[in-house]
Structure formats: C-alpha cells, structure tokens
Amino acid sequence: MRILLFSGKGGVGKTSLAAATGVKLAQLKYRTLVMSIDPAHSLGDAFDLNTDLFHVTTSDPLPINERLSIQEVNIQREIKRHWQAISSYVSSVLRTTGISGVEAEELAILPGMEELSAMMYINQYRREKRYDVIVLDAAPTAESMRFISMPTTLDWYMKHIFPFQRNLVKAVRPIANRVAPFELPPDTYFGNIRDLFEKLDGVDEIMENPRITSVRLVTNAEKMVLRETQRAFVYFSLHGLTIDQVVVNRLLPEEVKDAWFSEWHTSQETMVREIEEYFAPVPVKKVPLFAHEVLGQPRLEDLAQVLYSEHEDPAAVTRTEKPYTFGKENGLYEIRVLLPFATKGEVELFKKGDELVVQIGTFRRHIGLPRTMAALSPTRARLESKILTVEMKETA
C-alpha cells in the first residue's frame, strides 16, 4: 500500500490537488481512497457533492466510482465508535465544574482525537489490504505536525506513564472517590486507551517508510506561504518522513499579459527560482491558476492532466533518501546532508536567519533548522561517502 500525504498552509489548494491525484490514480486502476484529516473538511466540496448528505454518511468511505472512494473523518461518530469511555469521563468531570452538558461534550473532544482516528483507519485499511493507495488531505502545517508525531508520543506515554497511572488510580480510587470533588477514571477509561493503542500498533513504521509513505508539500509563490512550507519541510524531515515532491500551485499563466499583473509575474518568477534552489534535489511541480474554480470530477480530471503527464504514476516511489537528517553525538548537534554529486573541496558554511547554507564549489544547499538548533553555529564539516556532516554548537 502507498500513502501520499498532501500538506501545506491553509488555502494553498491542497484539497484540490489531493482529490485530483486520487482521480488520476483511479484512472490508473488503483483502488484509491482520498481521506480528509483536516477538521475544516472540504473534500466533499471538491467533488461538488451534496454536502449535507455527504457529511451525514461519510464516517465510512463513500464510493465515487468503482476504483475511487473518499472519506472525511467525522469526530462525533468516531467518539461513539472508539472514544466513548474517555469522552464520557471527561464530560462528567467538566459537568462537575458547572459547565452545561452540551458544552461539556464539545470540550471533551480533546486535541488529537481526530488525528488518531485517521491513523486508526489507515492502520485498519493496511491490515485489510482494502486499498492500493491512500491519499491524505492533511490539515494546515501545525496540525499536520501533530498528526505525524502522534504515534511516537502515544508510544512513549503507553510505555512510561500509562502503567504507573493505571495502577496508581486503581489503588487510590476507593478512598479518593469519597473525598475528591469528582470520581477518578474507571478502569474502562484505561481499557479504552489500551484498545486504541493496539489499533495503532505499527502505524509509526509505515509512516516513516519512504517506500510506503511520501509527503507532497503544496505551496504558492508567495513569501509568507513559502516560509511556512520551508518550516514544514524541516519538521517532516525531523520526524523521519520523506518529501518526494513540492507543488507550486496557482501560478499566473503566461498568456495573462495584462499590465496590472506584471508585478505578480515578476514576483512569482523570483519565488519559483527560490523554491527550486531551496528544496533541491526534491522535484518541484508547477500548476497554473485556472480560469474557474476546480469543483467536480470533470474539473478535477482537468487538474490531474496538468499535474501529471499522460503516463506518469503518482504512486511511483521516486525518492527513498532524505535530503538531510538531524542528530546529536557526544553532546554535539549534527546535520547530515546527502550530497550525491559533490566532490571534496572547500566547504563554505554560513547562517542566514534560521537557515544553514552549505556551498561546495558551485553547489549550494539551504537547510532549514529546527528551533533547538536555530541559535547554533556551524563549527566543522566533513564529506564522507557522499554525506556531509556539519557539527553545530553554541559560540561565545
């Protein structure tokens, strides 16, 4: 099974691109599911469906044709299916504070429930071998980061906190329930957490396997949008996911010659060059601004024709290596940069804001730094087996 995760700043058009990719994959005879994991769902709108009917029925996949289905994770239905004991307990605690029943139920939808529900579906479909490709229409960047970090966070909690917490509550519950203003969680609460964890078992491995999961970053040729895309690139890399494509969406077509747009043309050309330089060697696709809104399957097919060549397979594994990785050895932070075409020579390193710029001869690479390393400076570099290792540390 392949997983293609489309992520980017809100409003860049990733839902349309994810939907068009699903349409193309179905045309290539893949059993395809396009799943929205964005709380502000717009997948049904992209296919121009009757959204009232769609939102009622889409807790499960909805067939578009014999090869293509779409799904929006309905958190209210997921609570009834998977989170009932947890949600009921949290609601009961909130009601003791004077919060009304309806408000308590809304507040009992904890951060991460929607992302974990999507993860459970992905794992379920993988085990059932129901689909050949799952296309994920992710939430804006910050929520996408939470989505990919969930398995690691939950694994740590289950190994280090959960057993202690469960045993402690079991021991003190009879006494505490007599004196506490609210009851401690029942054992069904912890059993619900354990069941959820078992349903997620192994999902972290498939998300970090580049032969299964690839990230496609969607951006616009605008400075503010590009900065968020660069940050997303850093954090996906930090979490071990492979970005195999960057899509620059809504570029002004060349045939738009009106003088009013001349500055936009110049600005976009400059930004596209910067995008190609920053993300190299990851390929950059360019998609023009359409003369109409992309709604409904026929127009999604038009978008797919622009996005992919006739014989191009969106599910093909095109990249398995990571452009760079971060690590820490003997108290020193390191960045390991893949430079397959570089030869030994004078290495120039310098900081530019929160980026590290590496130059060997005419070859230049921009590397965004995570926050923990943004204040550090490069002190030493070595090129071995086509991998450049840069040591970073604080300087006086």
Give pLDDT, residue 46. 92
Find tokens 């540390």 and name the residue.
393
Q: Looking at the domain assignment, is residue 381 inside a domain? A: yes
Nearest Cα neighbor of 282 from 247, 310, 313 is: 247
The domain tally of the chain equals 2
Strands 377-384 and 387-393: antiparallel
Q: Looking at the domain assignment, is residue 262 inside a domain? A: yes
What is the pLDDT of the chain when averaged over all its residues? 84
- Domain of 335, CATH number, reads 2.60.40.790
CA dihedral 107, 112, 113, 119 (to 10 degrees): 170
pLDDT tens digits for 44-93? Answer: 889 988 755 555 445 689 999 999 999 988 777 777 777 777 778 778 77
CA distance readout (Å), 328 to 71, 132, 237, 390, 391: 40, 37, 15, 11, 9
What spatial distance separates the first Cα and last Cα of the chain, rounded to whole Å? 50
Q: Looking at the domain assignment, is residue 183 inside a domain? A: no
Same domain flag for 10 and 63: yes
In degrees and rounded to multiples of 5, residue 156 shows phi and psi of: -65, -45
pLDDT tens digits for 41-52? Answer: 788 889 988 755
Same domain flag for 147 and 247: yes
Average pLDDT over residues 127-148: 83
| Model confidence at 117: pLDDT above 90 | no
Q: Say which residue, 328 or 299, is predicted with more confidence.
A: 299
pLDDT tens digits for 241-260? Answer: 899 999 999 999 988 888 88
Distance CA 50, CA 56 (A): 10
Distance CA 205, CA 126 (A): 12
Same domain flag for 296 and 335: no
Q: Looking at the domain assignment, is residue 168 inside a domain? A: no
pLDDT tens digits for 174-212? Answer: 776 666 666 778 888 888 888 888 888 888 888 889 999
Give pLDDT, residue 57. 46
Distance CA 255, CA 253 (A): 5
Q: Quick check: 325 and 236 in contact, CB under 8 A?
A: no
Q: Looking at the domain assignment, is residue 181 inside a domain? A: no
> Residue 205: CB partners within 8 Å, gap ≥ 6?
none
pLDDT tens digits for 90-108? Answer: 787 777 777 877 787 777 6
Same domain flag for 132 and 234: yes
Partners of residue 166 on adjacent β-strands? none
Same domain flag for 43 and 91: yes
Q: Looking at the domain assignment, is residue 87 inside a domain? A: yes
Return the top range by mean pLDDT from 288-297, 323-332, 369-378: 288-297
Distance CA 218, CA 226 (A): 9
> Residue 92: CB partners within 8 Å, gap ≥ 6?
104, 182, 183
- Domain of 61, CATH number, reads 3.40.50.300
Q: Looking at the domain assignment, is residue 110 inside a domain? A: yes
CA dihedral 37, 285, 282, 24 (to 10 degrees): 50
- 307, 336, 367: which is the final residue of a domain? 307
Same domain flag for 240 and 345: no
Distance CA 130, CA 69 (A): 11
CB hemisphere CA count around 365 (13 angstroms): 21
Same domain flag for 57 and 27: yes
Q: Looking at the domain assignment, is residue 75 inside a domain? A: yes
pLDDT tens digits for 330-379? Answer: 778 998 887 765 666 667 888 888 888 887 766 677 788 888 888 888 88
Same domain flag for 238 and 351: no
Same domain flag for 365 and 232: no
The side-by-side arrangement of strands in the sheet containing 332-338 is 324-329, 332-338, 387-393, 377-384
- 246, 281, 307: which is the final residue of a domain? 307
Partners of residue 336 on adjacent β-strands? 325, 389
Same domain flag for 292 and 232: yes
Residue 358's domain comprises 324-393
- 252, 274, 307: which is the final residue of a domain? 307
CB hemisphere CA count around 185 (13 angstroms): 22
Same domain flag for 256 and 287: yes
CA distance readout (Å), 70 to 35, 50, 132, 216: 6, 14, 14, 19
Same domain flag for 256 and 368: no
